[in-house]
Copies of this chain bind each other. A is one copy, B any other.
Amino acid sequence: MSFQPVLIAGEWRSAKGSGSFRSANPATAELLPADFPISTWSDCAAALTAAEVAASALRSTTPEQIAGFLLRFAARLEARKAELVDAAHIETALPKMPRLAEVELPRTTNQLRQAAAAAQEGSWSLPTIDTKLNIRSMLVPIGPVALFGPNNFPFAYNGVAGGDFAAAIAAGNPVIAKAHPCHPQTTKLLAEEAFAAVGESGLPPATVQMIYHLAPEDGLKLVADPRLGSVGFTGSRAAGLKLKAAADGVGKPAFLEMSSLNPVIILPGALAERGVKIMEDLATSCLMASGQFCTSPGLTILFSGGGVDEFIAGFKARLESTPPTTLLAAGVARNLAVSIQALRQAGADLVTGGLPLPGNKFANTLLRVSGNTFLSAPQTLQTEAFGNASLLVVVRDADEAFQVLAHLEGNLTGSIYSDTRGSDDGLYEKLSPLLRSRVGRLLNDKMPTGVAVTAAMNHGGPFPATGHPGFTAVGIPAALRRFSTLQCFDNVRLHRLPAALQNKNPNGRMWRMIDGTWSQQDIQG
């Protein structure tokens, strides 16, 4: 039996495997033909050793070479678009059009190109220079980064092509990517293009490495290994917390995006003013990709009275009239059923849906609970139901809403809809500080599912949404700073300094904090 090769130490080679797996077509449950190896520790060790060498070699690579790699990789993905879209569609059931071809792949290449620009300009590293004392500091690459991508974005969050990958490489680090076992074939194609681009760009061969699967204990061992600089993970809370503990134990920064309900608060004035429009937007947001976004609105807070019954009836009708789509994997449907069961046992009432359907689909599901009941089991009623299910919490009044918010865990996002005439302003002022403190991104009058790849974005948030509230996974250049470490040069002879800290601005465009002022100028010396 022949397994697909892994990408280690600059070559596609046979895995030292402990077994194999196949991905499945989620719609038919049919196993796809290729056999992918489950790597043993031997593969991890080889990758770590090669990554350490690559990390060292990358230090003498120019920003232009790194940017060149990212640009070539983006162009290669576009050239192989049809094949990539076919592979991702078969492995994830995500629609080819518009999702994979017109949204996710362009987003992925856009991220790579933004990262290239950031690498080339260099301002991300916050170069800081005190000329009088000749003390200079900047953020520098942290070392090899292990990336564990999620199931829900086969391109844009893939460990070998997505946002974490772009950030880690642009910051100057080699990457060891672990494929998500739901889409190994897609990951293989991405890794082929990445590796070809590495060769064309003259980067160290082990700048990009990729394995398909690992025993969980080897994943923890990988994270804790001293050869590794940092870790990026997007996935379930249970898996994320284990990786975090392994990294914490050895004092290693790990950046984990774990879970989020993305609460939406619809204030009474907004409901009265434009309830139907908000309901339609909420339904669209909840059903986007069958609710399989990190930012899918899983919990909506409504105030009883007013038009709330009509809102819920309309929402129910929208969910019932929209055909469910195939979920990413059989496991998603299974976990969704388990989560819905937990919510119901804790007191949530089923408004519609709740059942699995043929073809790995799940009936669009809506649950509701009173504020009072929510407060009786706030932990369980924050169970993440990843997929096309959402919970409404109908509160009695502002005080109850306040209590519900006070029990919220950390989330990536929180949205508040208020009316345009000012009648909700008092409520907004009462509730928004509490929501603000519990989310990484606060939205007004907007659903959370759009995550613009822009400098001011924060795709992060308080624990347990992520592992550290000071960093974002999306948004360039800030996302690069996760994979860096602060280095100071005190009285170091000028010719020995990194280019970014020398008197001459290396490219005339890099922003540097010189004696307290951000500047693109050279230092006269």
Name A residues whose Cβ lies closer than 8 Å to a Cβ of B. 56, 59, 128-130, 133, 135-137, 139, 142-143, 244-245, 248, 250-253, 410, 413, 428, 432-433, 436-437, 440-446, 452, 454-458, 460, 462-464, 467-472, 475, 478, 481, 484-493, 496, 511, 513, 515-518
Which residues in B have their C-beta under 8 angstroms from that of A454?
130, 133, 135
- Minimal Cβ-Cβ distance residue in B for A467: B251
Q: Which of A142, A252, A470 has the most CB of B within 10 A?
A: A470
Q: Kindly state the separation between the CA atoms of A485 and B487 in the bound complex, as whole angstroms.
A: 22
Q: Separation in Å of the A49 CB from the closest CB of chain B?
A: 14
A488 and B458 form a contact (CB under 8 A): yes
B488 and A137 form a contact (CB under 8 A): no
Give which listed residue, B142, B428, B446, B462, contacts A496 with CB less than 8 A: B428
B252 and A463 form a contact (CB under 8 A): yes
Q: Separation in Å of the A432 CB from the closest CB of chain B?
A: 7
A sample of 17 more A-B contacts (CB under 8 A), given A253-B470, A445-B491, A511-B517, is A59-B433, A128-B478, A135-B456, A137-B458, A137-B478, A142-B469, A248-B248, A253-B468, A253-B469, A436-B487, A442-B487, A443-B490, A443-B491, A444-B496, A455-B516, A458-B487, A478-B486
Q: Known contacts being A469-B142, A486-B472, is A444 close to B493, with CB within 8 Å?
A: yes
Q: Separation in Å of the A291 CB from the closest CB of chain B?
A: 20
Q: Kindly state the separation between the CA atoms of A10 and B158 in the bound complex, as whole angstroms.
A: 51
Which residues in B have their C-beta under 8 angstroms from that of A460?
486
A446 and B490 form a contact (CB under 8 A): yes
B518 and A135 form a contact (CB under 8 A): no
Q: Separation in Å of the A155 CB from the closest CB of chain B?
A: 22
Q: Separation in Å of the A427 CB from the closest CB of chain B?
A: 13
Q: Separation in Å of the A501 CB from the closest CB of chain B?
A: 9
A456 and B128 form a contact (CB under 8 A): yes
Which residues in B have their C-beta under 8 angstroms from that of A440?
486-488
Listed by A's residue number, 5 A-B pairs whose Cβ atoms lie within 8 Å are A133-B452, A135-B454, A251-B463, A442-B489, A458-B487
- Minimal Cβ-Cβ distance residue in B for A444: B492
- Minimal Cβ-Cβ distance residue in B for A253: B468
Which residues in B have their C-beta under 8 angstroms from that of A142?
469-470
Give which listed residue, B442, B463, B491, B513, contacts A488 with CB less than 8 A: B442
